[in-house]
Structures are given as structure tokens and as C-alpha cells.
């Protein structure tokens, strides 16, 4: 896809690798642009899931590139600049399952990127934080909104208001990551295998039901769930799933 984001597709999984290891994969303008474009690979029916990783041994992503922290010409210019920052929203809007495979530093914009994923797994050396207040700014790519929804208000406020880091075990305790693993490749492989066993349209609808429904009153969320569930009753995959179960074989889902 470009110099700052490598894209590899295999076995139904698209792996997007943040590729600035000398800068601990810090996010610059090129990476934001390339990552936004790279996420579009999820539109390929052959892609069943996206995995985000960081190149090198030190970091998943250490946050924004400080070298680009220059004052805008005006407040209007600053607001116009933010309009183009779709790099996190594009990932959050992906209808396929998304996984952040995290090692080393996962800070600032890197953590905001991980928070936009559905599942976060980490190695024991991972370090998480939103240190923006230490630089007299706030998390501006979704951190103040997504972190409380993932870990709860108390833990989120402590991390955001102090800028303190948490290690992998604490991240697991508060629910920031679903598991701490010794081998990211093996863990990603297990998740990929699980995604390939399930109906792709069912996964997309289930994700929509959860991500939209969590912000709705329960009655409206249940209505959304019912509508999406009803839509699935008309699919070929539903018939195939029932037949495969009855015949004690693996289903051959097509997404139709």
C-alpha cells in the first residue's frame, strides 16, 4: 500500500503492518493517509478479517510523530486539518472483524488505533497509555470516547487525566486487552481460524448489532437485533449452516 503501512493478504486475513520501526511506528501524515486507504482492502470478499500490527521489536505504535507538532496558522486551519483525519474512523467503521496485535509501546494515537479494533491481544512486554495531558493536549482521535466504553469510566479517567502507563497485566485486568499471549503469530492464527469457520454476513450483522446497539436504549437495541436476525433468515449461508450441522460436516459459507 505504501512505505508506512505494509499490506499482506493470506488465508482470508489482511494484515496491516505499521512500518516506521525506527520511529517506533509513530503516526505521521503519510501513515494516516496510507492506513485510511489500506483499510479499504476489507471490501474484498476474500478478506474475512483485518489484523493491525507494528513493525520492529519496540512498539506497536508509540503515538503521533512529535516532529509534526507545529502550531497551525489559525483555529480554522486546525479544524480543517482534522477533517481529513479519517485513519481511526475508517478502521472503526470496518464491517469485518478487526484485531490489534500489540507488542511493546502502544501509546497515544497508537492506543486510539487499537481501541478502534474489535479485539486487542498483547504480549507481556506491552505498555499502554494516553499521555497527551503531559503535553498539554488531550487524546483527539477517539481516546476520550472509546477508552471509557471499553474499560469503564474510573480506569479510563485515571489513564487519561494522569497520562500514566499501564502494563499488559493491568491492561488485561481492566479489560483493555482480551488476553496476554506469549506468541502473537500463534494467537492471530487461532483468531483467523475462528473467523474462517463462521458465516461472514452473520459476523458483519453481529458486529453491527453490538456496536450500534450499545449506544441505543435497550428496546431499540433489541429491535435492531431482531431486524438483523430476520435478514439472515433469507440467506444461503443460513441454509448451508443448518445442513452442515445436520450432516456433521464443516460448512462452506460464501457470504450469500
Q: Domain segments of the chain: what residues?
A: 5-195, 199-247
Q: What are phi and psi of 69, to 5 degrees?
A: -80, 85
Catalytic: 208?
Answer: no
- pLDDT for position 1: 56
- What's the mean pLDDT in 64-86? 60
Active site residue 227: no
d(CA 227, CA 216): 15
Question: Does domain 199-247 sit in CATH 1.10.3210?
Answer: no
How far apart (Å, rounded) are the C-alpha atoms in residues 110 and 28?
A: 11
Catalytic pick among 8, 112, 179, 208? 112
Distance CA 150, CA 143 (A): 10
Measured distance CA(141)–CA(61) in Å, rounded = 14
**What is the pTM for the complete model shown?**
0.90
Catalytic residue from among 40, 81, 132, 240: 132
Task: Write down the pLDDT at residue 79.
Answer: 52
pLDDT in tens, 69-79: 566 655 555 55
pLDDT, tens digit, 9 for 90 and up, residues 192-232? 999 999 999 999 999 999 999 999 999 999 999 999 999 99
- Coil, strand or helix at 24: coil
Residues 6+ away with beta carbon under 8 Å from 73:
none
Sign, CA dihedral 57-100-17-86, equals: negative
Between residues 169 and 90, the one the model is more confident about: 169
- How far is Cα 134 from Cα 118, in angstroms, rounded to an integer? 28
Whether the CB-CB separation of 8 and 187 falls below 8 Å is answered with: no
Q: What is the CATH number of domain 5-195?
A: 3.90.226.10
Burial class (CB in 10 A: 0-12, 13-18, 19+), 74: exposed
Amino acid at each position: 500500500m505504501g512505505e508506512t503501512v505494509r499490506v499482506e493478504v493470506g488465508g482470508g486475513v489482511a494484515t496491516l503492518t505499521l512500518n516506521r520501526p525506527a520511529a517506533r511506528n509513530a503516526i505521521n501524515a503519510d501513515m494516516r493517509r496510507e492506513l485510511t486507504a489500506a483499510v479499504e482492502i476489507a471490501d474484498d470478499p476474500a478478506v474475512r478479517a483485518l489484523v493491525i500490527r507494528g513493525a520492529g521489536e519496540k512498539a506497536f505504535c508509540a503515538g503521533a510523530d512529535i516532529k509534526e507538532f507545529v502550531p497551525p496558522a489559525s483555529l480554522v486551519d486546525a479544524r480543517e486539518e482534522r477533517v481529513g483525519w479519517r485513519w481511526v474512523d475508517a478502521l472503526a467503521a470496518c464491517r469485518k472483524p478487526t484485531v490489534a496485535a500489540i507488542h511493546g509501546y502502544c501509546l497515544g494515537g497508537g492506543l486510539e488505533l487499537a481501541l478502534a479494533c474489535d479485539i486487542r491481544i498483547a504480549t507481556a512486554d506491552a505498555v499502554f497509555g494516553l499521555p497527551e495531558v503531559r503535553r498539554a493536549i488531550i487524546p483527539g482521535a477517539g481516546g476520550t470516547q472509546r477508552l471509557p466504553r471499553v474499560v469503564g469510566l474510573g480506569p479510563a479517567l485515571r489513564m487519561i487525566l494522569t497520562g500514566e502507563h499501564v502494563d499488559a497485566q493491568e491492561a488485561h485486568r481492566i479489560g483493555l486487552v482480551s488476553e496476554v499471549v506469549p506468541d502473537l503469530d500463534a494467537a492471530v492464527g487461532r483468531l483467523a481460524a475462528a473467523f474462517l469457520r463462521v458465516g461472514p454476513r452473520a459476523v458483519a450483522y453481529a458486529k453491527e448489532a453490538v456496536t450500534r446497539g450499545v449506544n441505543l436504549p435497550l428496546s431499540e437495541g433489541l429491535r435492531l437485533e431482531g431486524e438483523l436476525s430476520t435478514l439472515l433468515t433469507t440467506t444461503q449461508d443460513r441454509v448451508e449452516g443448518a445442513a452442515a450441522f445436520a450432516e456433521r460436516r464443516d460448512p462452506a459459507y460464501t457470504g450469500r
